[in-house]
């Protein structure tokens, strides 16, 4: 049993703690919203860019751009793993890392990684896997420019044929309570297999394309060279935002649990404090009463 003074100190520290977790919860909640809004804002561009790609790529007799071309068999795979920089976000990082390692086991080909976020990087180091590049310190709502370097690194690996396929491993934001780890193909993009493609999510409401004879300036190849890398960057950008929204949702959840626990603990401790206080008062009263009694007896004996 703690002494009264210890209990009081404990209550104070738990009280401070719950204030901190409450503040963190509020901060995370606002970051989730911002990241979510940013994801939604990318949709119109994604939609239009994909339309453009399909338009150009579907022209019959055209050779596919190398970013659209499948390589068979796949000899090596690159995974872009999105994790958080910091902890305090529940099982967020464990979930996506487990999903990734499970996926890698199935693949059965050599895998290299690009790590976005310190936590994932540390895990990749511990596994002694091949780490191509790492990025960290991104803001909660990164700008497009912040993440384009990630995509450029991935495209470079693909074009240099160091990887035959590139996947994004990140956590999809479903709602504040649920976030789903997903593994999606980034490259090659294949318009002919639209339905099973990662990109299909962005183009669900796309109308069948009207046939139009476009003038291409400067030329189809040049336009594809400009559009495809940009579209790839966009997908990485969307994944980054989804991951950021999920991270903060997970952190908000973890902080809410921590606040709830702290409050429960506070209730128990307050009860304990009151008991201890009453006990102290009772024993003090007994002491005084006992002392008075003893004094009385001593006086009577002296008379």
Partner 1 sequence: MGLRLDIVTPERELFTGEVDTVLVPGAEGQLGILPQHAPLITVLDEGVLTARRGAESLAFAIHGGYMQVLSDHVIVLADVAEQAEEIDVERAEEARRRAEELLKKQPPPEEQRAAMAALQRSLVRLRVARRQRPYRPEREPES
Residue 89 known to be catalytic: yes
**Nearer to partner 1 among residue 33 and residue 180 (C-beta):** 33
**Nearer to partner 1 among residue 49 and residue 269 (C-beta):** 49
CB 50 within 8 A of CB 214: no
Angle at 182 between CA 226 and CA 64, to 5 degrees: 30
Distance CA 247, CA 179 (A): 9
Q: Candidates 44, 61, 73, 208: give the one binding partner 1 (CB under 8 A).
A: 44
User: Is residue 180 a contact residue for partner 1 (CB under 8 A)?
Assistant: no
Angle at 51 between CA 167 and CA 243, to 5 degrees: 35
Give phi and psi for 96, each to the nearest 5: -70, -35
Quick note: the x/- pattern for partner 1 over 201-240, rule CB under 8 A, is: ---------x-xxxxxxx---xx--xx--x--xx--x---
**Nearer to partner 1 among residue 79 and residue 234 (C-beta):** 234
CB 24 within 8 A of CB 251: yes
User: Is residue 45 a contact residue for partner 1 (CB under 8 A)?
Assistant: yes
Distance CA 23, CA 253 (A): 13
User: Is residue 38 a contact residue for partner 1 (CB under 8 A)?
Assistant: yes
Q: HSE-up of 75 (CA within 13 Å, CB side)?
A: 5
CB 93 within 8 A of CB 136: no
**Nearer to partner 1 among residue 74 and residue 221 (C-beta):** 221
Instruction: Supply the Cα-derived Rg of the chain in whole angstroms.
Output: 30
Strand order in the sheet with 130-135: 130-135, 111-116, 77-82, 165-173, 179-187
The nearest distance, CB 105 to partner 1, in angstroms, is: 34
User: Is residue 42 a contact residue for partner 1 (CB under 8 A)?
Assistant: yes
Applying CB under 8 A, which part among 139-147, 159-167, 175-183, 295-303 lies near partner 1? 139-147
User: Is residue 125 a contact residue for partner 1 (CB under 8 A)?
Assistant: no
User: Is residue 59 a contact residue for partner 1 (CB under 8 A)?
Assistant: no
Q: Candidates 11, 52, 183, 266: give the one binding partner 1 (CB under 8 A).
A: 52
**Nearer to partner 1 among residue 99 and residue 245 (C-beta):** 245
Q: Candidates 10, 71, 144, 263: give the one binding partner 1 (CB under 8 A).
A: 144
User: Is residue 154 a contact residue for partner 1 (CB under 8 A)?
Assistant: no
Distance CA 57, CA 52 (A): 8
Matching residue, tokens 């990887």: 163
Distance CA 127, CA 200 (A): 33
Structure tokens at 276: 């201890």
- Which member of 89, 116, 234, 243 is catalytic? 89
Taking residue 15's Cβ as centre, other Cβ atoms within 10 Å add up to 14
Distance CA 225, CA 189 (A): 13
Applying CB under 8 A, which part among 36-44, 65-73, 90-98, 246-254 lies near partner 1? 36-44
**Nearer to partner 1 among residue 115 and residue 223 (C-beta):** 223
Compute how many residues bind partner 1; rule: CB under 8 A: 31
User: Is residue 195 a contact residue for partner 1 (CB under 8 A)?
Assistant: no
| Residues carrying an active site annotation | 89
Which residues bind to partner 1, rule: CB under 8 A? Answer: 38, 41-42, 44-46, 48-49, 51-52, 55-56, 143-145, 210, 212-218, 222-223, 226-227, 230, 233-234, 237
């Amino acid at each position: 049993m703690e002494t009264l003074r210890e209990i009081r100190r404990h209550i104070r520290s738990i009280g401070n703690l719950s204030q901190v977790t409450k503040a963190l919860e509020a901060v995370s909640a606002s970051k989730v919203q911002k990241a979510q809004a940013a994801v939604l804002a990318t949709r119109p561009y994604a939609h239009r860019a994909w339309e453009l790609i399909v338009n150009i790529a579907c022209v019959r007799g055209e050779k596919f751009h190398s970013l659209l071309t499948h390589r068979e068999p796949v000899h090596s795979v690159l995974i872009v793993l999105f994790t958080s920089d910091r902890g305090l976000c529940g099982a967020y990082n464990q979930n996506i890392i487990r999903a990734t390692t499970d996926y890698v086991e199935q693949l059965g080909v050599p895998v290299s990684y690009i790590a976005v976020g310190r936590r994932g990087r540390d895990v990749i180091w511990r596994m002694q896997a091949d780490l191509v590049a790492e990025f960290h310190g991104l803001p909660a709502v990164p700008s497009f420019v912040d993440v384009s370097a990630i995509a450029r690194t991935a495209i470079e690996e693909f074009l240099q044929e160091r990887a035959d396929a590139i996947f994004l491993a990140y956590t999809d934001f479903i709602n504040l309570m649920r976030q789903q780890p997903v593994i999606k193909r980034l490259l090659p993009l294949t318009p002919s297999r639209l339905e099973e493609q990662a990109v299909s999510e962005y183009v669900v409401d796309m109308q069948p394309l009207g046939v139009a004879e476009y003038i291409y300036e400067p030329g189809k190849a040049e336009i594809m060279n400009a559009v495809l890398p940009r579209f790839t960057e966009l997908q990485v950008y969307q994944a980054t935002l989804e991951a950021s929204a999920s991270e903060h949702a997970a952190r908000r959840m973890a902080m809410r649990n921590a606040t709830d626990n702290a409050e429960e603990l506070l209730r128990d401790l307050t009860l304990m404090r009151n008991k201890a206080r009453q006990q102290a008062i009772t024993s003090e009263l007994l002491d005084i009463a006992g002392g008075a009694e003893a004094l009385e007896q001593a006086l009577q004996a002296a008379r």
